Structure 1
Amino acid sequence: MTPVYKDCSRCAGRGFNRVPSSVAFKAIRHLVPDLNERTWRRNWKPFYEILISKCFVEESMAEQAFSRTIK
């Protein structure tokens, strides 16, 4: 069986692209209008950073699994 390579329609094969926390803050603020910058930095931003790190770890694990599969 021959593997089929196809670029992702979302990222065009570039992988996960990090969104700056300032952009995330503005997007979340539309949903939570009372969210101020201090609350964002103290409570929400650390969660956002952990979530981004988890995305990079999972992407790396998926890439490793894919590489092992096609060898």
Structure 2
Amino acid sequence: MKSHYTMQLPQFAKDFGQSPSDFEVKRKVEETVRLLCKPCNGKGAVSNSCRCNGKGTVVDKEKSEQQGIPVYKTCGKCSGRGYSRLKFSEVYEAITGHLPELASSTCYESFKPFYELLVTKCLMEEGVADSMLAKVTR
């Protein structure tokens, strides 16, 4: 009986009645599927910017109408940072996604102070980076 399989089977395989298909190597194939991510709408990151679009300033409509030219003011929603701060309730939802048995009182007592400390440290480091950038670009 002829086969398209050219490799000679070892004697032990012939003795056990093995066929060439028993020695085949299966390979895994990954299929790429193009889907639109609903949270980020395909942008790759969830935007946390507010109505100032990351600039930190917005047009003051009342003063602009009075003076006849655009007057800018610090964005009230983000306090000039350019992005609105992440609420701890959203952080809590993310934590309970990984630890569903965590009580909300424990989370607010333990994790919220740590979260506030991290935010404060990030804002301090952002200020240091801004001052260094101002020195370099002077």
Fold match (TM-score > 0.5): yes
TM-score bracket for the superposition, by shorter chain length:
0.7 to 0.9
Which residue number in structure 2 is paired with residue 57 of structure 1? 124
Amino acid at match of 2:106: T
- Bigger mean CA deviation after superposition, 33-42 or 14-23: 14-23
TM-score normalized with structure 2 length:
0.40
The answer for the alignment partner of 1:45 in structure 2 is 112
Task: Give the structure with the higher percent strand.
Answer: 2
Structure 1 residue 28 corresponds to structure 2 residue 63: no
TM-score by length of 1: 0.74
5+ residue gaps, structure 1, are: 1-9
Q: Which has the higher helix share?
A: 1
Structure 1 position 41, deviation (Å): 1.1
**Structure 1 pair 17–55 and aligned structure 2 pair: CA distance change class (3 A):** farther
| Structure of greater Rg | 2
Matching of residue 70 in structure 1 with residue 137 in structure 2: yes
Write the letter of the residue equivalent to 1:40: C
Q: Give ranges in structure 2 of 5+ residues lacking alignment.
A: 1-46, 56-80
Q: CA RMSD in A?
A: 1.9
Change in Cα spacing, 1:16 to 1:56, as seen in structure 2 (3 Å) is: farther
SS in 1 for 2:101: coil
Number of aligned residue pairs: 62
Matches within 5 A, 1:10-25: 17-25=84-92
Using the TM superposition, give the Cα deviation of residue 36 of structure 1 relative to its aligned residue in structure 2, in angstroms: 1.2
Give distance in 2, aligned partners of 1:60 and 1:36. 35
SS in 1 for 2:94: helix
For the residue of structure 1 that corresponds to 2:86, the secondary structure is coil
